[in-house]
């Protein structure tokens, strides 16, 4: 049989157990704090991923709009080139005409279109 434990030994053992319990409690609080931070980081990541997807969709939309704008601008450039060519032909015709005022007006208008005036 073992000898009975004295009061002092019991108090020492209680102090040791209380110290171990305090360390374990502190460690558990650290784990809980880390868990909360990790959950917040995961939540933030989910929000960031959603925002990135929104921005990618918006970027795609604006790229499509820009492509349409370039197509429209190209159509306008083609139309303008045709109009300028028509004016050039008109100038040629006007040169052969006797109406000098009309010829000068057409020449001036063409120069304005070409940005020469």
| Domain coordinates in residue numbering, the chain | 7-114
Residue 29 has pLDDT above 60, yes or no: yes
pTM of the predicted model as reported, rounded to 2 decimal places: 0.46
Give backbone dihedrals phi and psi of 55, rounded to 5 degrees, phi first.
-65, -40
Binned at pLDDT 50, 70 and 90, residue 94 comes out as: low
Q: Residue 97 corresponds to which tokens in the numbers above?
A: 């005409």
Q: Residue 103 in contact with residue 91, Cβ under 8 Å? A: yes
By C-alpha distance, which of 82, 84, 71 is closest to 116? 84
Binned at pLDDT 50, 70 and 90, residue 88 comes out as: confident
Binned at pLDDT 50, 70 and 90, residue 92 comes out as: confident
Residue 114 and residue 92: Cα distance in Å, rounded? 16
Residue 90: the pLDDT is 80
Residue 52 and residue 46: Cα distance in Å, rounded? 10
């Amino acid at each position: 049989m073992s000898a009975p434990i004295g009061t002092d030994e019991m108090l020492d053992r209680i102090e040791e157990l209380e110290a171990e319990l305090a360390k374990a409690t502190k460690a558990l609080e650290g784990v809980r704090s880390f868990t909360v931070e990790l959950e917040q980081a995961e939540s933030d990541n989910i929000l960031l991923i959603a925002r990135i997807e929104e921005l990618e969709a918006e970027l795609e939309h604006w790229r499509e709009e820009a492509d349409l704008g370039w197509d429209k601008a190209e159509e306008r450039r083609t139309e303008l080139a045709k109009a300028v060519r028509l004016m050039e032909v008109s100038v040629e015709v006007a040169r052969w005409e006797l109406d000098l005022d009309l010829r000068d007006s057409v020449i001036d208008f063409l120069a304005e279109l070409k940005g020469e005036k």
